Copies of this chain bind each other. A is one copy, B any other.
Amino acid sequence: MRMTKARRDILKIFNENDKPLNAEQLSKILEEDYDLSTIYRNLNFFEEQAILRSIVFSDKIKYYFTSKGHYHFVYCTKCKKFQKINKCFEEEFKKHINKKLDFEVKSHTLYFEGLCHDCKNRRDYDEAND
């Protein structure tokens, strides 16, 4: 891993920011100092290195955030802003969100990504052939 100015600048922003950001937003914060392709490449790189994590909401844009801590958010479909949640169970969540954040929940989704039974067992074979 080569620590370039672009990478330093990008990491700095994520460390100062606890809300998910997409490539476009990052580019603006960086005052367009870097080409978008550079930003995309670095975001991918950081995700591979598990330094950043990403999430895709219904707008189909990839948002990145640091891998430390929780991956639970409320996302406003109108202004596209996030708020972090620190509580951990669904029912509590809902109360917390409705009352403490004054956020009107329209829908919620929980998903787990990983490898299913079949892919898990075929892993070595697949990785050698991907």
Contact = CB atoms under 8 A, between A and B. Distances in A.
Interface stretch (A3-11, A27-35, A38-46, A49-57): A49-57
Nearest to A118: B79
Interface residues of A, number: 46
Contacts of A76: 113-116, 118-119
Per assembly, the copies of the chain total: 2
A111 B79 CA distance: 16
A75 B118 contact: no
A14 interface: no
Given A58-B56, A60-B60, A88-B90, A73 B111 contact: yes
A53 B108 CA distance: 11
A114 B107 contact: yes
B119 A113 contact: no
A11 B76 CA distance: 29
A57 B35 CA distance: 26
A108 B106 contact: no
A-B residue pairs, 6 tightest by C-beta: A76-B116, A106-B114, A78-B119, A102-B117, A108-B112, A105-B114
